Amino acid sequence: MVITKSISFNTSTIALKVSKKSLFAFSKIVSLLPYPVINLFCWLLGLITIALMGERRRLAIKNISGAFTGLGWIEIIQTTVKSTCRTIEQGLLVLAWPQLKTKKLLESFFLSDSDMHLLAQSAAFNNGTLWLIPHFCHADALSIIPKILNDEEKVYTLYRPLKNKIIDNFVREARERYGIETIGRKKGGMLKTLKVLRRGDTLAMLFDQNAGAAGTRLSFMGRECSCTTLPDILYKKYKPKVLFVYTKRVSFWKSKIIVEEMDALRDGELIIEKANNWLEIKLKSDKALRQSWLWTHRRWKPGAGQPRKGLLR
């Protein structure tokens, strides 16, 4: 019995090491390839994904056509293809991130002087700062901001752990490379976010995911979807400064990081409603952002979430 357990343990340990080594080896290979080669690979893999993964293709087309009722069929297909390729590009960037040189990353992901000033100014706000981040291509590159600001700003980010522990650890460590501290949603994660703002620090979070049964049904792009109420819970308690922080893709593995301060709330308006409206305007007015958003996400899942009535009142 003891011998059997020992063999089982050793086999699992070896498998774990091989998986980690394979992941890091692939990360190294991707980081060494010329950008045009990786870009071509993203396009090929994107087209294969669209051709073979019918469910995801149909989901993206349904999401895009539902969000833009006046969009022509050709543009819907173009947006589906480019969005899928950008998603793959983002995934490969995360894999290569630990191996890419800091100097190269600082040249590829950059802030204007005015946006740097806004971030630095917000970091000094006593009530803390809340970054609301949308799912645009290169969103993970925002983890380089502390390095751009010379480590002057302490930033925590809320994330949803991946099911595969090896990949989850890899991605989490990649995000923490330049000083970002990650907070998992499970095991007291929500309580930790409260402590971040209570200390006057900065908390970053993605806001445009399907929040499931625990979320609140609100309008986005003309249809109801389940939205997270965490930004409103945090705002009601601490009144932090709220910023939209996002990446606008310039070229392959290169983006401008943009920072915008949220406008004042109207009477009865929620933070997440303001965020939905802000994102809707971006998607409708900027073709480049529209083609880099995550359209294969199940954003509009029928029946998900709770009614808005009485929320946070």
Residue 195 lies in a domain: yes
Predicted pLDDT of residue 309: 67
pTM: 0.90
Over residues 255-293, the pLDDT tens digits come to 999 999 999 999 889 999 999 999 999 999 999 999 999
CA–CA distances in Å: residue 216 to residues 21, 47, 77, 113, 310: 42, 35, 31, 37, 11
Residue 262 lies in a domain: yes
Q: Please tell me which residue, 8 or 63, carries the higher pLDDT value.
A: 63
Residue 216 lies in a domain: yes
| C-alpha R_g of the chain | 20
Quote the number of domains for the chain.
1
Q: Residue 217 in 3-state DSSP?
A: strand
Task: Compute the half-sphere exposure of residue 16: CA atoms within 13 Å on the CB side of its CA.
Answer: 11
- From 56-70, 125-139, 163-177, the region with the lowest mean pLDDT: 163-177
Is residue 7 predicted with pLDDT exceeding 50? no
Predicted pLDDT of residue 218: 94
Residue 295 lies in a domain: no
Tokens of 39: 């870009």
- The predicted model gives 8-30 an average pLDDT of 68
| 75: number of Cβ within 10 Å | 15
Residue 256 lies in a domain: yes
- From 9-23, 26-40, 191-205, 256-270, the region with the lowest mean pLDDT: 9-23
Residue 1 lies in a domain: no
| 111: number of Cβ within 10 Å | 19
The backbone torsions φ and ψ at residue 183, rounded to the nearest 5 degrees and listed phi first, read -125, 115
Residue 281 lies in a domain: yes
Residue 265 lies in a domain: yes
Q: Are 88 and 45 in contact (CB under 8 A)?
A: yes
Spatial distance between the Cα atoms of 113 and 119, rounded to a whole number of angstroms: 10
Per the prediction, the chain carries an average pLDDT of 89
Q: Residue 108 in 3-state DSSP?
A: helix
Q: Are 21 and 29 in contact (CB under 8 A)?
A: no
What is the extent of the structural domain holding 265? Answer: 100-290
CA dihedral for 61, 63, 68, 69, sign (positive or negative): positive
